[in-house]
Structure 1
Amino acid sequence: MGKNLIPPSGGDDHVETVDLKSALEERYLAYALSTIMHRALPDVRDGLKPVHRRIMHAMRLLRLNPGSSYAKCARIVGDVMGKFHPHGDASIYDALVRLAQDFAVRYPLVDGQGNFGNIDGDNAAAMRYTEARMTEVASLLLEGITENAIDFRPTYNEEDLEPVVLPGAFPNLLANGSSGIAVGMATNIPPHNVAELCDAALLLIRNPQASVEELVQLVPGPDLPTGGILVEPKENILEAYRTGRGAFRVRAKWEKEDLGRGTWVVVVTEIPYQVQKSRLIEKIAELLLAKKLPLLDDIRDESAEDIRIVLEPKNRSVDPELLMESLFKLTELENRVSLNMNVLSHGKVPNVLSLGGVLQEWLEHRKEVLLRRSQYRLEEIEKRLEILGGYLIAYLNLDEVIRIIREEDEPKQELMRTFSLTDMQAESILNMRLRSLRKLEEFEIRKEFDGLTAEKAQLEELLGSEIKQWKAISGEIKKVRETYGPETPLGKRRTQFAEAPSHDLEDIHQAMIEREPVTIVVSEKGWMRAMKGHLPDFSALSFKEGDKLKLAFHAETTDKIVVATTGGKFFTIGANTLPGGRGHGEPIRIMVDMDNDQDILSAFVHDASAKLLLASHEGYGFMINESEVIANTRKGKQIMNVKLPDEMKICQRITGDTIAVVGENRKMLVFPLAELPELSRGKGVRLQKYKDGGISDIRTFAIDQGLTWQDSADRTFTRSKDELQEWTADRATAGRMVPKGFPRTGKFTS
């Protein structure tokens, strides 16, 4: 029988009523603080999160120094988990692996042996197969840890001690970067070049008030492990470092490789930071299959140790710059590396710091470490000098000392009384070995005594002078700069700077679309589709019941289709985005935000060089450049201002120099096009005057060639310039009755 979960009678004696809101607030706050302080945010002083700090400390205790032999990662992870970090082994091993990956960390802290993963995104081998030890950089971070440079605290089970922060003789936070998501806050710091950081730190020592502009001259931007080209404008970089928040655009490094006879390929040799190469190539291959990259023919991965991605163009006439721009737009060959310098300031307070702020706090930490190490060394020297003083007394009175030790019952007390020795001096004399009584030993002791006395004087001078302290810190920083300078393989800058080439966005957009002929079909009820090919005959087109053809025209998939509505609005739709011709298409109201009380007036292929004539039913109109009507959003662009019951009735391309306008009252007026204003938006001016009714049709033509129209029997009529004199008058006049033979419909085309 299962366990009875119902408490016995009186079981509510120990029930405590808690307000749910306050309980949740209190517990969530505790969780949030734990995540912020002990998991996600790095300490500004050593640039490490607790898990990384514990790994470094455990490796030091295992004596896995740079010159020593490797130890199994399972051993390291076991020590970290058992003694310091009560979490899963997988999370500890993942952190250890990342510290060894030279494509993830700019200056690795762990020297790994075995499979530690690769830039393709493959995982490392299991921890039982891999081995590790510390690098020189890790040694720098730990330098002075045994000399009281930092505080220790009890571990989670209070059996051991762990460092609160590492001494950090290496500017690790900015040099290796960090990323983490806490509760309500996150951090993301890309890696930088350590030689540049050292130069900036030395400038801050000389001038603590140095501006961000001066620092950015020395630290021009991130230096990413995988290289690449930084194409962010300088003012954006400056602003990011001033505020501690921003982003950097990083592009892959590429070059055009000639294959002879005019053929060429593009070879990508460096990819942006934190982009998985295999995933990147898969994505490009998918876009290639989906015909989203018409300039590209094929992609191959020829990488070995170095990255080599080969991109084959469609043909030799393709512009390589344009090909790459289209790839940068659609793929992770261009990536944004964000900057959010949210760190634990002084190890306690989460704070977003500027570039100067981070370096300043690191320098303050280095000063504290220097003072603590110097004080520790001074105390050690004083202890040693005390012992050496006792030794010298013993050597000067050797026979008496031996006599006391041999004959006295309490030699320690007797020695202290006879020679005025301290407890420590008497103890050290009693602990001396017989072999150290040789003649030369006195000389060695005097030499050591003099040397330590001189060192003590120097340390006292250092502790008493801030100038000397900063000089000592400068010396340490210069040493780091020398070790990882720009001429060293590890210190050489990998990420280069360039300005992104300014290509016309329209050209790039065109380069992303496969150019194919299509026929655009618009129905009376506003359904649109794009049929493949240029259909010669529109009569065979099928529509939904009760619907019919409104207009159809030929286009290319790279064209922009402009749709004008009766409400005076214009919408722009890419021909490649229209639904295919298998069904009846889709209603235009799904594609754009078109009002329900408006209908499609006209649709046509955009021609930036053309001009349009717009006219409303009440007889107002104006000219506009066709490039002005292009809308970049679903909302469209209001061009002609009309209020119901008036609406836009005519939208046509202008040809010639004269306008003929016909009203519903069958009166026609001809006037020069020059009398019509060119606007970018508005109501327009009156074209023709009506007592009642409105406009019927408009035609623009060249006056020298005359006005032509067709009647219902398809007969063509033409009136010359002289014959049109009767109807030629100023704009906004009433006009005269239409000439003989004009169609009954009141339109220039029957």
Structure 2
Amino acid sequence: MDPAGKIEETRLSEALSERYLAYAMSTIMSRSLPDVRDGLKPVHRRLIYAMQQLRLDPTAGFKKCARVVGDVIGKYHPHGDASVYEALVRLAQDFAVRYPLVEGQGNFGSIDGDNAAAMRYTEARLTAVAKALLDGIDDDAVDFRATYDGEDEEPIVLPGAFPNLLANGAAGIAVGMATSIPPHNVGEVCAAALLLVRKPEATTADLLALMPGPDFPTGGLLVEDADAIARAYETGRGSFRMRAKWSVEQGRFGTWCIVVTEIPYQVQKSRLIEQIAELMEQKKLPLLGDIRDESTTDIRLVLEPRTRGVEPEVLMETLFRATPLESRFSLNMNVLGADRVPGVLGLRAVLRAWLDHRHEVLVRRSQHRLRAVERRLEILNGFLAVYLNLDDVIRIIREEDDAKASLMATFSLTDLQAESVLNMRLRSLRRLEEIEIRKEHGALSEERAGLEALLADEGLRWKRIGKEIEATRRQFGDGALGARRTELAAPPAPVDLTAAVAVERESLTVLLSEKGWIRAVKGHGIDAASQKFKEGDKLARAVECQSTDRLCAFATDGRAFTLKAADLPRGRGDGQPIRLLIELSNDEELIALFVVGDGRRLVASSAGRGMVVRDDDLVAEKRTGKQVLNTKDGESALACIAAEGDHVAVLGRNGRFLVFPLEQLPEMTRGLGVALQKYKDGGLRVARVFTASAGLVWKEGGRARAMTDLAPWLGKRADGGKPAPSWAK
């Protein structure tokens, strides 16, 4: 039957699922996640292999990047030339990659965010690091597969003598998963790998004693807590807190300024200066007088204080809290394993995977070399047999019709030996050549014995791998390239900015409308009805505070945001949309607005999970807020109430009511929380905290009811509860 014109009916949902799954798998396997063995994504691997095929070795001349990109997209990577060129450029940027794999000639961009010149102007060749990644690729060290058009072959993975995944890191976003791996110092990585070779049972703590943390190409200070670093490397997930490196320069007549010489990784210098200037215009950096960029090839940002009486540490603390001079780099070691299955691995598992790959490469290279040695020895044995009977060999070649068969029969030669004898040049038929053949035969026999011993003894193989790693450490871990750039420092002590940033204390009432407009008016006890709002809008929340207070806004996505009362718009106008002050998406709403004090809060989700959080742990320094309550798909944060009392009352949407002691709830800084009430259907509707001796005042729908006898509903946390009383329905 001719398939042309045949229509097959398929459900739309099934067709979409099948096609989207194919797209997702393609993104995960062939685009976004690096291979744990060589630390490369397909585009980077194809770039390096294509440059090797073009013979762009570190000692060779440069070639135009347009030539390299053309070969890559024509033979191996059928994607756009712009994206391939961007990948090539990044591999050559010493501020983006800790150990560049490509040496560029021309304009390859800058740390200010400037783009590279067009590919027709720039040139490139491989570095020694890339050469180490390719070492052994011609010795059957790795498998090859057909290219997308079937006309050529490309390596599935590179031999990877250089620990590229950890040394250069990786970042990528796939469908449903992402990866983020910071760069590390290759000398420290090799030292940790050598420890794992000598001591396979070494723990993550043992490894961290040798490689204590990331080493970013732009330097800076790593000020993360040691316990947090250990947990991150143990689980493969976490984050690292980075700060700019700065110093104080004294001027004339008691003046001084701060000079920033290193900034956090992946922070664009020009954008950083723009952000600081914008904050100065908005009066949000009252201690900073001026900023100048005096950078050349090295970074030099000069920060001048507004007055000499400001402490340098206090000035820098205000900048760290408000600008990218302090930032976080996430750790998510989500990689493709040797079986091509993605997974999040800890530090030990990543090093183990690389070492296992190096072991496999050593075995395959040794087997390949052994086959070559045995083939050459077979040929040499044939030559030696010929030299003992040269006259007979010459006669057979001159007189016999089938010289090859006669040679094989007369001298018991193999097909390969006979063919090699027939191809021998006449000038080789001299005594001196026989001596050279015997010498080569002896050397190869000795090499064969060594290879056979190596393949038969796993201990010898690991010793050889240890020597190779030590050679890599000496080559790339010493000198200017291998010196650690990121300084490890203790977490900074908290700095109180209240006294430094003088704010006149006055009574304020913060008004938040239903449509999200916020403003502050002077005084307490104001009449809400007398306040004007936009047409169709009205008051949602009113919070009395002081101008020196900080306010916490808690959203349905479980994030807490911090607002300074002094920074809120004043006057009789409509105020300002709160979404301009905090990065709150349009899909989320605020469920609480309160003054940050020294108390505690009960936060709970719609699924009925909750926990107690201290006010201090709800404070966020960034506009993006702080994730406090984690929620699953389809859930949202439902409550953020003062935990003042000794009991908790919860009412589920199933109409069941439960009271339990507050002490049964854990105090946490972040998490999913624990179950407040058990549900078969639905979730949490209302939660209250109260003191048992005073009774429960149940406020809902504008009505209030006091209740002291709650014994029938008293139970343990996570119980199902009992049917709710009439006043709580």
TM tier, smaller:
0.7 to 0.9
Select 2:69's aligned residue among 77, 89, 110: 77
**CA distance in structure 2 between the aligned counterparts of 1:170 and 1:105, rounded to whole angstroms:** 14
Select 1:431's aligned residue among 423, 429, 447: 423
Q: Contact conserved, 2:223 with 2:489, CA < 8 A, in 1?
A: yes
The 1:410/1:124 distance shift into structure 2, 3 A limit, reads: same
The 1:35/1:583 distance shift into structure 2, 3 A limit, reads: closer
Q: Contact conserved, 2:223 with 2:492, CA < 8 A, in 1?
A: no
What does 1:470-549 align with in structure 2 at a 5 Å threshold? 470-485=462-477, 487-504=478-495, 507-508=496-497, 511=500, 515=503, 529=520
Q: Contact conserved, 1:530 with 1:575, CA < 8 A, in 2?
A: no
**CA distance in structure 2 between the aligned counterparts of 1:558 and 1:334, rounded to whole angstroms:** 24
With the length of structure 2 as denominator, give the TM-score of the two structures.
Answer: 0.73
**CA distance in structure 2 between the aligned counterparts of 1:45 and 1:578, rounded to whole angstroms:** 52
The 1:112/1:409 distance shift into structure 2, 3 A limit, reads: same
Q: Which residue of 1 aligns with 2:630?
A: none
Q: Which residue of 1 aligns with 2:570?
A: 580
Give 1:217's aligned amino acid.
A
Give 2:493's aligned amino acid.
S
Give 2:497's aligned amino acid.
I
For the pair 1:67 / 2:62, whether they are aligned, the reply is no
Q: Contact conserved, 2:508 with 2:546, CA < 8 A, in 1?
A: no
SS at match of 1:310: strand
Deviation at 1:577, TM superposition (A): 3.5
Question: Which digits, 9 at most, give the CA deviation of each residue in 1:48-81, with x for residues without a partner?
Answer: 1111111111011100001000010000000010
Give 2:327's aligned amino acid.
N
**CA distance in structure 2 between the aligned counterparts of 1:132 and 1:199, rounded to whole angstroms:** 31
**CA distance in structure 1 between the aligned counterparts of 2:333 and 2:592, rounded to whole angstroms:** 45
What does 1:115-264 align with in structure 2 at a 5 Å threshold? 115-264=107-256
Deviation at 1:638, TM superposition (A): 8.0
Give 1:54's aligned amino acid.
R
**CA distance in structure 1 between the aligned counterparts of 2:615 and 2:94, rounded to whole angstroms:** 52
The 1:80/1:347 distance shift into structure 2, 3 A limit, reads: farther
Give 2:479's aligned amino acid.
T
Q: Which residue of 2 aligns with 1:735?
A: none
**CA distance in structure 1 between the aligned counterparts of 2:458 and 2:239, rounded to whole angstroms:** 38
Q: Contact conserved, 2:519 with 2:570, CA < 8 A, in 1?
A: no
**CA distance in structure 1 between the aligned counterparts of 2:97 and 2:38, rounded to whole angstroms:** 15
The 1:561/1:244 distance shift into structure 2, 3 A limit, reads: closer
The 1:269/1:586 distance shift into structure 2, 3 A limit, reads: closer
**CA distance in structure 2 between the aligned counterparts of 1:90 and 1:629, rounded to whole angstroms:** 47
Q: Contact conserved, 1:514 with 1:557, CA < 8 A, in 2?
A: no
Deviation at 1:426, TM superposition (A): 1.1
Q: Contact conserved, 2:47 with 2:72, CA < 8 A, in 1?
A: yes
The 1:520/1:186 distance shift into structure 2, 3 A limit, reads: closer
**CA distance in structure 1 between the aligned counterparts of 2:287 and 2:238, rounded to whole angstroms:** 33
Q: Mark the runs of 5 or more structure 2 residues left unpaired by the alignment.
A: 512-517, 524-529, 533-544, 553-561, 582-588, 599-613, 621-638, 647-689, 695-729
Q: Which residue of 1 aligns with 2:284?
A: 292
Q: Which residue of 1 aligns with 2:399?
A: 407
The 1:36/1:316 distance shift into structure 2, 3 A limit, reads: same
Q: Contact conserved, 1:518 with 1:530, CA < 8 A, in 2?
A: no
Deviation at 1:579, TM superposition (A): 3.2
What does 1:380-459 align with in structure 2 at a 5 Å threshold? 380-459=372-451
The 1:632/1:454 distance shift into structure 2, 3 A limit, reads: closer
Q: Contact conserved, 2:224 with 2:241, CA < 8 A, in 1?
A: yes
Q: Which residue of 1 aligns with 2:658?
A: none
Deviation at 1:432, TM superposition (A): 1.2
Higher radius of gyration, 1 or 2? 1
Give 1:490's aligned amino acid.
L
Deviation at 1:107, TM superposition (A): 0.6
Question: Which digits, 9 at most, give the CA deviation of each residue in 1:203-249, with x for residues without a partner?
Answer: 11111111111111111001111111001100000000000000000
With the length of structure 1 as denominator, give the TM-score of the two structures.
Answer: 0.71
SS at match of 2:251: strand
**CA distance in structure 2 between the aligned counterparts of 1:628 and 1:86, rounded to whole angstroms:** 54
For the pair 1:112 / 2:104, whether they are aligned, the reply is yes
Deviation at 1:95, TM superposition (A): 0.8
Q: Which residue of 2 aligns with 1:25?
A: 17
For the pair 1:316 / 2:316, whether they are aligned, the reply is no
Give 1:213's aligned amino acid.
A
Q: Which residue of 1 aligns with 2:458?
A: 466
**CA distance in structure 1 between the aligned counterparts of 2:84 and 2:510, rounded to whole angstroms:** 62
Give 2:410's aligned amino acid.
T
The 1:493/1:433 distance shift into structure 2, 3 A limit, reads: same
Q: Identity over the aligned pairs, expressed in percent?
A: 60
The 1:280/1:682 distance shift into structure 2, 3 A limit, reads: same
Q: Which residue of 1 aligns with 2:331?
A: 339
**CA distance in structure 1 between the aligned counterparts of 2:592 and 2:211, rounded to whole angstroms:** 51
Q: Contact conserved, 1:111 with 1:134, CA < 8 A, in 2?
A: yes
Question: Which digits, 9 at most, give the CA deviation of each residue in 1:409-446, with x for residues without a partner?
Answer: 22211211211111111111111112222331111111
**CA distance in structure 1 between the aligned counterparts of 2:292 and 2:521, rounded to whole angstroms:** 34
**CA distance in structure 1 between the aligned counterparts of 2:273 and 2:577, rounded to whole angstroms:** 37
**CA distance in structure 2 between the aligned counterparts of 1:376 and 1:156, rounded to whole angstroms:** 27
**CA distance in structure 2 between the aligned counterparts of 1:586 and 1:69, rounded to whole angstroms:** 60
Give 1:350's aligned amino acid.
P
Q: Mark the runs of 5 or more structure 1 residues left unpaired by the alignment.
A: 1-10, 535-542, 546-554, 563-571, 596-602, 609-626, 642-680, 686-750
Deviation at 1:12, TM superposition (A): 12
Deviation at 1:578, TM superposition (A): 4.2
**CA distance in structure 2 between the aligned counterparts of 1:577 and 1:516, rounded to whole angstroms:** 12
**CA distance in structure 2 between the aligned counterparts of 1:119 and 1:86, rounded to whole angstroms:** 30
